[in-house]
Structure 1
Amino acid sequence: MTTSFVTTTDGLRLAVHEFGRPDAPTIVAVHGFPDSHHVWDGIAAELGDRFRVIAYDVRGAGESDKPRGRKAYHQDQLTADLLAVLDAVSPSEPVHLLAHDWGSMQSWDAVSTPDLAPRFASFTSISGPSLAYASRWLRGRGHLGASVRQVLTSTYMAVFQLPVLPELAARAGVIRRGAEKVGGYDPHRGLAETSNGVNIYRANVLRQLFSDEPRRTLVPTLVLVPREDAFSSPPVASNAPVGWVDDLTVREVDGGHWVVVRDPATIAAEVAAFVEAHLPVAGKRKARR
């Protein structure tokens, strides 16, 4: 693994970690909260013999800079951060985007922006539905049961809107223990809990839930749905993007919210198959060498 740093449009430094083969097709992985790039370690190890895997620490996490206040975590800035990474690691070729949890929720903005869509050859979303798509689907008819279940599992998002309390909970280890008990996180993997990350929710959740008409995406998209996910309701994850993604594949997998850590081999196999199906001929030769 090699580590470099990218400067964002507002002057912060993001830590960018590279695994695998430098000459192979590029996968860029975006982690969620409360993780760091280490959530991808197992998957990067599985994919490294066929692909170049880039995993960066999002602002507020890992080795990247940690600004305070919600304004620094607004969706527009998160998208700009992703583009800064793309400009550094693959300025002229589209990448295959892989994202989990809030990393996925924030990535929907980039893949559904018409001017940015050509930067992505494919998108794999795990446990992180678009809030705009989810909001529209949950408000539809016949979804009462799924709506109630998702509201109950998303209570923590409402709590994160409160001042001070979430930061105190993070420092006291409450978020870590909840992730282990409810979400199935492996405590031995070193959860990268940080109080800064709650500002992602403060800056974006309400704004995106009540946004204007969601944008469609032309980027080929694979949605992996863990059957036992305690935070992202499988019916919502499976159905919310339908009608908004022109080239959509939905696959259920066994496991909970952190299946990316618990079963990296299964997730890596799904990702590799989808990426290889969306490579140009030259890229397919590189991936199989």
Structure 2
Amino acid sequence: MIRVPLSTGVELDVEVAGEAGNPVMICLHGFPESHRTWRHQVAEFARDHHVIAPDQRGYARSDKPAGVEAYTADRIVADLMALADHFGAERFTLVAHDWGGAVAWLAALRHPDRIARLVICNAPHPLIFQRSLFDDPLQRAGSQYIRSFRDPGLEARIEAMGLDRFFDGSFAPHVDTAAVAGEREAYLDEWRQPGALTGMLNWYRASQIVVPAMDEEPERPGWIDGPFPSIKVPTLVIWGMRDKALQPVQLEGLDALIDDATIVRIEDAGHFVPWEAPEAVNTAMREWLAKYPL
């Protein structure tokens, strides 16, 4: 791990692997993880890429700026581009999961000149996700936890119960226990860093996504029924079909929003597909990347 100061004013811990002269691959993790999301991919793709996997702002030992406004999508996309600039990457492959995928979708829309190839793992497209929260009861039900995570009193309740119980009650039941065996203490160590719990949760609080309660019918955002710009970057979407938080509806109509889309469904994996099914993910990535050489 190295410490990287960014022009955005934050410093991130970053895992770097592979030769500096190789094509750059930047990997963005989501909640509640860190660069370790990509432990199986870094080992594989460092053979022929310069792989850069940060702990994003708010996570682990990276900087945790105060205030919810510090975690808006604009700020985090700016971190990504500043990270690429730091390593001299004019163009790069972007690989992302969960909240990292939310950043990646927006970055691909705004910076198609910089992102050569996009790989998304179980991260919903913003248009489909917001629309499904209004139109799909299963997805709305599956996303009610976001409302809980936005509660400003959540940290106090977690502190009262203890991080160990929070891990065992809220995270462990949703993952492949065999795949995460031996990782529990690493997670708890990252979550115990000063400000980490609030930093991680602030990603949810800063998001503009509307999550209606099950018995609520708020005003429908007008943008979800209007035209939406397409992704111009060649995109591979890898989806663990056993995802309990993100329903298969997230794949419906996705190819119409991407000019050049490839969708790979992995039936025997859940939300954390990069490490639940690493061989399948790496194979899908290898086969797809070969079609789009840099």
Superposed pair shares fold, TM > 0.5: yes
Q: Which amino acid aligns with 1:119?
A: R
Percent of aligned pairs sharing the same letter: 27
- In the TM superposition, what are the counterparts of 1:107-146 in structure 2 within 5 Å? 107-113=104-110, 116-136=111-131
**CA distance change for structure 1 residues 96 and 51 in 2, over 3 Å: closer, same or farther?**
same
Deviation at 1:133, TM superposition (A): 3.0
* 8 Å contact kept, 1:28–1:55: yes
Letter in 1 for 2:203: I
Checking the alignment, whether the CA contact within 8 Å between 1:183 and 1:231 is kept in structure 2 is no
Give the TM-score taking structure 2 as reference length.
0.83
In structure 1, the residue matched to 2:5 is: 6
Give the Cα–Cα distance (whole angstroms) in 2 for the partners of residues 261 and 198 of structure 1: 22
Q: Which amino acid aligns with 1:22?
A: A
Q: CA 1:273/1:157 → structure 2, altered by over 3 Å: closer, same or farther?
A: same
Consecutive unaligned residues in structure 2, runs of 5 or more: 212-219
In the TM superposition, what are the counterparts of 1:22-171 in structure 2 within 5 Å? 22-92=20-90, 94-113=91-110, 116-136=111-131, 147-166=136-155, 168-169=157-158
Structure-2 change in CA distance of 1:170 and 1:128 (3 Å): farther
Task: Give distance in 2, aligned partners of 1:210 and 1:14.
Answer: 34
1:240, distance to aligned residue in structure 2 (A): 4.8
Task: Give the structure 1 partner of residue 215 of structure 2.
Answer: none
Q: CA deviation at 1:138?
A: 5.8
Alpha-carbon distance in structure 2 between the residues aligned to 1:242 and 1:5: 36
How many angstroms apart in 2 are the aligned matches of 1:259 and 1:49?
A: 21
Query: 1:285: which partner in 2?
Result: none
- Does residue 244 (structure 1) correspond to residue 262 (structure 2)? The answer is no
Q: In structure 2, what residue type is equivalent to 1:263?
A: A
Matches of 1:91 and 1:154, distance apart in 2: 36
Q: Displacement of 1:149 after TM fit?
A: 1.6
Aligned length: 268
Q: C-alpha distance in 2, partners of 1:227/1:98?
A: 19
Distance (whole Å) between structure 1 residues aligned to residue 222 and residue 291 of structure 2: 33
C-alpha change, 1:96 and 1:66, in structure 2 (3 Å) is same
Aligned partner of residue 146 in structure 2, secondary structure = helix
Q: 1:248 offset after TM fit, Å?
A: 1.0
State the partner residue of 1:224.
238
SS in 2 for 1:261: helix
RMSD of Structure 2 on Structure 1 (CA): 2.3
Distance in 2, Cα, partners of 1:211 & 1:160: 25
Shift of 1:262: 2.5
> Unmatched 5+ residue regions in structure 1?
281-289
